[in-house]
């Protein structure tokens, strides 16, 4: 059986574009979606990433960062659209634990298993990345660590791959944060790869005319060495011969033989073809709404 995939619209964030684009020339603000996903297979329900705790928490990042949210974009409301409550979800998987990815995990009961790469939790409590890991979010995970069955820690750097459920496995991302992971699912749309923030911008990192054949571009937000980040991106593009790539802050695109082959006509809510953010003389702006799909 394959997984049925639904996108969860968990708000938006505004960030200085220098977090996204290396050596950005003009000052500007990038507004991007915050997305999670719901996977359903029979009675099994899995959520990937949980968004930010509340909009104002993004201000802790500085650089005029802020969160934007409508009431319907709360995680509970997004699950309600599918007839579910947090208690109906058996697993929550985190691509990583940054402020806009793990902020509503405490809405799930301790009977829901939260799955995290052990290296990511270690890095989250190391004090090396400051406000990116809010104490409210991380302390909840420590409570889960000391509650039997509430937290599952993977050792992806050692194992290379670990299965969570049939048709659902995790791989080490090797970039963005020290413990980020990829989630790979066999869905009714084909193989889906959820990459967290390893890809921030499809346009800048995968479609830029300055990139050479089968190459990838770096974002401006990673803690590993540039060489390691570049290698992580190349490995991502080769996870499978043909798959659908789901970045957390951009539209999904189809990848074949390590190249983007389709995506401009396959947009998420509010997106115009090509990229969530469109560059203007003033920096970036959000495209006009184009309807919505799940």
What are the beta bridge partners of residue 191?
186
Whether residue 227 is contained in a domain is answered as yes
pLDDT class of 26 with cuts at 50, 70, 90: low
Whether residue 268 is contained in a domain is answered as yes
Burial class (CB in 10 A: 0-12, 13-18, 19+), 38: buried
Q: Greater confidence, 284 or 41?
A: 41
- 212 Cβ partners below 8 Å, 6+ apart? none
pLDDT confidence of residue 69: 96
Q: Considering only 20-24, 173-177, 182-186, 229-233, which range has the smallest mean pLDDT?
A: 20-24
Whether residue 35 is contained in a domain is answered as yes
Reading the block at residue 13, the tokens are 């964030």
Residue 272 pLDDT greater than 50, yes or no: no
Task: Give the predicted TM-score (pTM) of the model.
Answer: 0.89
Whether residue 292 is contained in a domain is answered as no
Whether residue 293 is contained in a domain is answered as no
The predicted-structure confidence for 234-257, as pLDDT tens digits, reads as follows 999 999 999 999 999 999 999 999
Cβ atoms of 86 and 107 within 8 Å: the answer is: yes
Q: What is the extent of the structural domain holding 156?
A: 4-285
Whether residue 291 is contained in a domain is answered as no
CB hemisphere CA count around 16 (13 angstroms): 15
Phi/psi region, residue 286 (left: phi>0; alpha: psi -120 to 50; beta: rest), is beta
CB pairs under 8 A, 24+ apart, for 285-289? 285/31, 286/12, 286/31
pLDDT confidence of residue 135: 97
CATH of the domain at 133: 3.60.15.10
The predicted-structure confidence for 67-89, as pLDDT tens digits, reads as follows 999 999 999 999 999 999 999 99
Split into its structural domains, the chain has a count of 1
Residue 6 to residue 28: CA distance in whole angstroms: 32
Residue 266 pLDDT greater than 90, yes or no: no
pLDDT confidence of residue 27: 65
Whether residue 294 is contained in a domain is answered as no
pLDDT confidence of residue 264: 42
Reading the block at residue 195, the tokens are 């990459």
Whether residue 290 is contained in a domain is answered as no
């Amino acid at each position: 059986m394959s997984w049925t995939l639904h996108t969860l619209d968990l708000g938006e964030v505004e960030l200085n574009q220098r977090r996204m684009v290396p050596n950005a020339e003009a000052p500007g603000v990038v507004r991007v979606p915050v997305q999670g996903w719901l996977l359903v297979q029979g009675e099994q329900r899995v959520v990937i990433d949980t968004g930010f705790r509340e909009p104002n928490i993004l201000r802790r990042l500085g650089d005029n960062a802020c969160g934007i949210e409508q009431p319907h974009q709360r995680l509970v409301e997004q699950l309600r659209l599918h007839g579910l409550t947090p208690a109906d979800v058996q697993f929550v998987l985190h691509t990583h634990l940054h402020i806009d990815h793990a902020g509503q995990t405490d809405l799930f009961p301790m009977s829901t298993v939260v799955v995290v790469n052990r290296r990511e939790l270690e890095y989250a409590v190391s004090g090396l990345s400051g406000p990116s890991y809010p104490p409210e979010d991380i302390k909840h995970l420590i409570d889960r660590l000391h509650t039997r069955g509430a937290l599952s820690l993977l050792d992806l750097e050692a194992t290379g791959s670990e299965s969570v459920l049939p048709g659902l496995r995790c791989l080490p991302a090797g970039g963005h944060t020290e413990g980020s992971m990829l989630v790979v699912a066999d869905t009714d749309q084909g193989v889906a790869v959820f990459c967290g923030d390893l890809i921030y911008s499809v346009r800048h990192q995968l479609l830029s005319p300055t990139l050479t054949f089968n190459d990838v571009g770096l974002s401006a937000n990673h803690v590993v060495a540039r060489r390691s980040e570049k290698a992580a991106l190349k490995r991502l593009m080769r996870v499978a011969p043909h798959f659908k790539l789901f970045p957390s802050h951009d539209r999904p695109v189809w990848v074949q033989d390590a190249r983007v082959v389709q995506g401009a006509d396959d947009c998420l809510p509010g997106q115009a073809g090509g990229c969530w953010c469109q560059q203007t003389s003033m920096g970036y702006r959000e495209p006009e709404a184009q309807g919505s799909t799940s």
